[in-house]
Amino acid sequence: MGKTHLAQNPDPAEDRYLVPGLIRGLQALSAFTPERREMSLSEIAREIGLNRSAAFRCVYTLAQMGYLLHDETHKTYTLGPAVMRLGFGYLATRELVEIALPELERLRDETDWSTHLGIRDGALVLYMLRVPSRLGMGSIVHTGSRLPAANTTMGRVLLADLDEETLIALYREDAKMRSPRAGSANMAALLAQWHKDKAAGVISQIGSFEAGITSVAAPLRDMSGKVIAAINATSATKGEDSVPPAISRAVEKTAARISYLLGNT
């Protein structure tokens, strides 16, 4: 996976897509270091090059969102718990990718099917890893692709872990947003599929979303048992009307092994 390199001090005047307020907020957070764990409003303003009034709005917003904590007694700010959650999220994602990659390569070698890792992003599934078949067959999706969760095996696995109330709320909100990428899921059909998927450990489909492609997916669980991601294996359909049992077993076994490495015992 390629790395994205960002400028240390991007200039909004040179790039119309940059959001100045967001840049200032991130600069304010970056001003805190292990050696400088707390600062006053004046110190933060000086660090990010703003007057006190503008700095206050920035700092106040960050504090309201939990990214900064305000010590009213000493009139200083420190990093808040929301920053820690972001850090844990980043580390968890890195750990997941690093642990899953060799297992997906092993699954690819064992089955000659392309293998993938995905996480849920609202009503979409985000592809985090892709290990293509050496035979050049399988799905053409790539790392970074976002596909409708309700129409893909990995997405269905991830949706199956939600409770009914959360699922309904998710798709009602998605309908309001009218996201064309998320698909127009019929609620009755969605719930019927969700009930079936909830009872299945492994989910498969043949040509249902991508013509000519067979796919089978299984969940990845963390130490608490919560489904945090999914893996699948895909291949060109060869006229069969069901997934070969050996493939389903291999995917399920790989998912269990990755889950174990993530602390699920």
* Statement: the pTM of the whole predicted model exceeds 0.75: no
3-state secondary structure 13-81: CCCCCCCHHHHHHHHHHHCCECCECEEEHHHHHHHHCCCHHHHHHHHHHHHHCCCEEEECCCCEEEECH
**Is 15 a member of any domain?**
no
The two structure tokens encoding residue 157: 């696995």
Q: Tell me, yes or no, whether 72 and 150 share the same domain.
A: no
Residues 67 and 153 in one domain: no
Residues 32-83 have pLDDT tens digits of: 987 888 999 999 999 999 999 999 999 999 999 999 999 888 999 999 878 8
- Specify if 13 maps to a domain: no
pLDDT tens, residue by residue, 118-147:
999 889 999 999 999 988 665 668 888 889
Residues 190 and 123 placed together within one structural domain of the fold: yes
Residue 83: its pLDDT value, please?
84
Residues 47 and 92 in one domain: no
- Quick one: angle between helices 20-30 and 41-48, nearest 10? 120
Residue 116 lies in a domain: yes
Strand order of the β-sheet with 146-148 is 146-148, 124-131, 114-121, 227-236, 213-221, 203-206
Are residues 44 and 165 both part of a single domain?
Answer: no
In a domain, 1, yes or no: no
Of 79, 99, 126, the residue that ends a domain is 79
> CA 161, 164, 168: angle at the middle one, nearest 5?
110
β-pairing, 114-121 vs 146-148, is unpaired
Confidence of residue 91 (pLDDT cuts 50, 70, 90): low
| Model pLDDT, residue 81 | 78
For residue 8, is it within any domain?
A: no
Q: Specify whether 143 is located in the same domain as 167.
A: yes
Smallest CA-to-CA distance from 145 within 183, 170, 117 is with 117
Q: Are residues 69 and 142 in the same domain?
A: no
Do residues 44 and 97 both lie within one domain? no
Is 252 within the bounds of a domain?
yes
Q: What is the CATH number of the domain that holds 158?
A: 3.30.450.40
Structural domain span for residue 54: 20-79
What's the domain count of the chain? 2
Same domain? 49 vs 139: no
57, 79, 101 - which closes a domain: 79
Instruction: Compute the distance between CA of residue 150 and CA of residue 63 in angstroms, rounded to an integer.
Output: 37
